[in-house]
Structure 1
Amino acid sequence: MMMTPFVRIPLSAFATSIVLFAGGGAYAGPQADAVARVVTQHAVPAVLDFSAQTKALEVAAKSDCTAGALAPAYNASFDAWMGLQHLNIGPVEADARGLTIAFWPDKKGMIPKALAALIADQDAAVADASEFAHVSIAARGLFALEFMIFDDTFNAYDQGSYSCELVQAITHDLAQTADHIAQEWTREDGFAATLTTAGAANNQRYLSETEAAQALYTMLLTGLENSAEQRIGRPLGSFEKPRPKRAEAYRSGRSARNVMLSVLAAREFAAAMAPETPQKTLEILDEVVTKLQDLDDPSFASVSDPFGRLKIEIIGQRIEAATDAIANDIGVPLGISAGFNASDGD
């Protein structure tokens, strides 16, 4: 089936149209203004950046698919994903795209099994994008690529090998998924419009400004909670049994960076959504970023050392403190609270 080519909308024009609607429509109010700011200043730039970076990764893989050559473009794509991953609604949520992009935590070790099976069988799906879109999600996305690029069991492949073709198939699939997300956010009747027309008669998803604002507010809080509970909590394990190899992206040395980028994304999100400068929220999130920069432990290996563990625990505690500040800086003045989130309990 032919896919509609993704036509990028200039961000400045897109932002202007949304702001004009929020400022002059019958449904404008503090909540609608907050939603419009998040869409134009945070969400749309994030989805466009992720699309651009994954396209560059695909191009890089076509030129030189070997692990060493591909690492920089891979890291740039993962950086871009961290600016978007917390927006797990709409186009990211559809068709389990978020899970396809980032299959983590992989509690049963499915990723290396799925990759090994494809390589052992020389599965022809790598030559057909429509077929590859139906392989196990464990063999797709950023974490499958992490194994192919950074794990010694998989990364010693040559240009032109089956593993090279597999890497190229993964990068193409990732770029396509990112383009679909960007297109569905930014087209005329896309998800950005759905959010910013909340309460309009023809909007069947968000029946009021409050619903749209609450959906975004929930994503903001959930993103921070996931960083504290999953990205930091999983490698911490218990004092008696720390689990450093449960850290997100430890093979590529991105564990601490992912937390930092997720916090920076939350900072940008909060600053856009708040009716006034969210001083306490920004202060705490800036403190977290400084602590992560000073940690000098990219993979959270120091959870096995009592002193290093304490530093990481404090970072998690400060992230949790930021959620309380957000409630006061954003939730109270906008009159909203967190609602149900599909990732609760994961």
Structure 2
Amino acid sequence: MQRLIVLITTLMLAACSDPRQQVTTQLADQVLLPAHQQWQSRNMTLLDSTRAWCSGDQELASLKQAFHQSQSAWSRLQPLMVGPLSEGNRSWQVQFWPDKRNMVARQTEDLLDEFADLTQPQLEGASVVVQGLTAFEYVLFDEQTAVTENRDRYCPLLTGIARHQLTLSDQVLALWQQPEGMLDKLTSFPNARYANADEALGGILRVQVTGVDTLKKKLGTPMGRLNSGVPQPYQAEAWRSRHSTENLQASLAGAQAVWERVRSLVGDAGLVADIDQAYKTIRDQLEALPAPLMELVQDPTRQAQLQSLYQNLDALETLQQDDLARHLGIQIGFNANDGD
């Protein structure tokens, strides 16, 4: 028995002295789990605010603010979607983007035409297009909805979406925290998902690189990079609420939170300086944008500014996917957007 205790103690000390396991533990405890908790908390506030507005106890501006906060928490979480939220179709239930054919508006109105007094089971049985924040944004901000004058029509849907988002975030958070859940898998090795800390760190970095690549897409799509250079302002992520830039900032902050923990593992001072500077440059450029993204992409005088921002995002992705991965000896190789 004494030998067994000594062996267990030795293994625990070895784990604690492994810098990579320390970093994955920090990422799990201090970055990934708190981001999921904040997302769940914002969804709870969104449901409370929706109920209050629908009952006439709150101003529309307060509901819009609650929506922005929920959307921001989701945006920050996107480069951190390790585990349950990235599986199945859960992320599509939060946000349907890109909406190339205005499906959100059409399917939302079709659903409400079919069910005049929409119930939660009817929403749960509908398409993911109408279950998420994109449909919520359409109702709140599209001029055609006139939501205040049509409160009776839209409140069952708004309440249903907010409840769906809270239920989804509750489920994901429970999966994270349950025994042998994602939190355990990122802090104790080996396990059914990761053989060691290197595999876990590679998984986190792969998701983070995908998040940076998604930032490029959310900027490049409305710029027209996929459309022969013809701007597509209505393909901006949050064009109705004019919050595309704020969402980009939140996602960048999520990606940077991963880097801030990983940088302690990097022995190349030049690489650390390059990645630090890349994040600072992009953050400063986003803060300097003078108008909503959907307006900027239509302004010929702003194209050079947007192109520079896109190129810097591309450079950051390369620094992390190639240079950082090579330095750490971790295979990233691809991200979830490859092939899109």
In structure 2, C-alpha distance between the alignment counterparts of 1:100 and 1:341, rounded to whole Å: 21
Partner residue, 1:256: 245
State how 1:52-63 maps to structure 2 within 5 Å: 52-63=41-52
Aligned to 1:233: 220
Secondary structure of 2:109's aligned partner: helix
Equivalent pairs counted in the alignment come to 321
What residue is the counterpart of 1:127 in the other structure? 119
1:212 pairs with 2:196: no
* Cα RMSD after superposing both structures: 2.5
Alignment of 1:119-158 (within 5 A): 119-122=112-115, 126-128=118-120, 130-158=121-149
C-alpha deviation, 1:272, in angstroms: 1.4
Equivalent residues in 2 for 1:289-328, closer than 5 Å: 289-327=283-321
- Partner of 2:80, secondary structure, is coil
Larger Rg: 2
TM-score scaled by length of structure 2: 0.86
Match among 90, 101, 106 for residue 94 of structure 2: 101
Q: Supply the distance in 1 between the matched residues of 2:264 and 2:323 (Cα, whole angstroms).
A: 8
Between the aligned partners of 2:94 and 2:215, the Cα distance in structure 1 is 17
The Cα of 1:25 is off from its aligned counterpart by: 5.6
**Alpha-carbon deviation of 1:34?**
2.3
Q: Distance in 2 between matches of 1:67 and 1:344?
A: 40
Code of the residue aligned with 1:293 in structure 2: it is: E
State the distance in 2 between where 1:100 and 1:320 align.
28
The one-character-per-residue Cα deviations of 1:98-156 (angstroms, maximum 9, x if unpaired) are 111011111232211110111111255x323x442221100011101010100012242
**What letter is aligned with 2:261?**
A
How has the CA–CA distance of structure 1 residues 122 and 189 changed in structure 2, closer, same or farther, with 3 Å as cutoff?
same
Matches of 1:233 and 1:226, distance apart in 2? 10
Shift in Å, 1:52? 0.3
- Offset from partner CA, 1:208-263 (integer Å, 9 cap, x none): 322211111111111111111x1111011157521122111011111111111111
Which runs of 5 or more residues in structure 2 are unaligned? Answer: 1-8, 267-271
Q: 1:151 to 1:256 in 2, by over 3 A?
A: same
Tell me, which stretches of 5 or more residues in structure 1 are unaligned? 1-19
| Equivalent-residue separation in structure 2 for 1:158 and 1:56 (angstroms) | 24
Q: Aligned equivalents of 1:110 and 1:67: distance in 2?
A: 25
Structure 1 letter corresponding to 2:258: F
Question: Normalising by structure 1, what TM-score?
Answer: 0.85
Q: CA separation of 1:118/1:326 partners in 2, compared to 1, >3 Å: closer, same or farther?
A: same
Aligned twin of 2:332: 338
Q: CA deviation at 1:273?
A: 2.1
Q: CA deviation at 1:331?
A: 2.3
Q: State how far apart, in whole Å, the 1-side matches of 2:309 and 2:288 are.
A: 11
User: Which amino acid is 1:82 matched to?
Assistant: S
Amino acid at match of 1:218: R
Matched, 1:169 2:157: no
Query: Residue type of the partner of 1:219?
Result: V
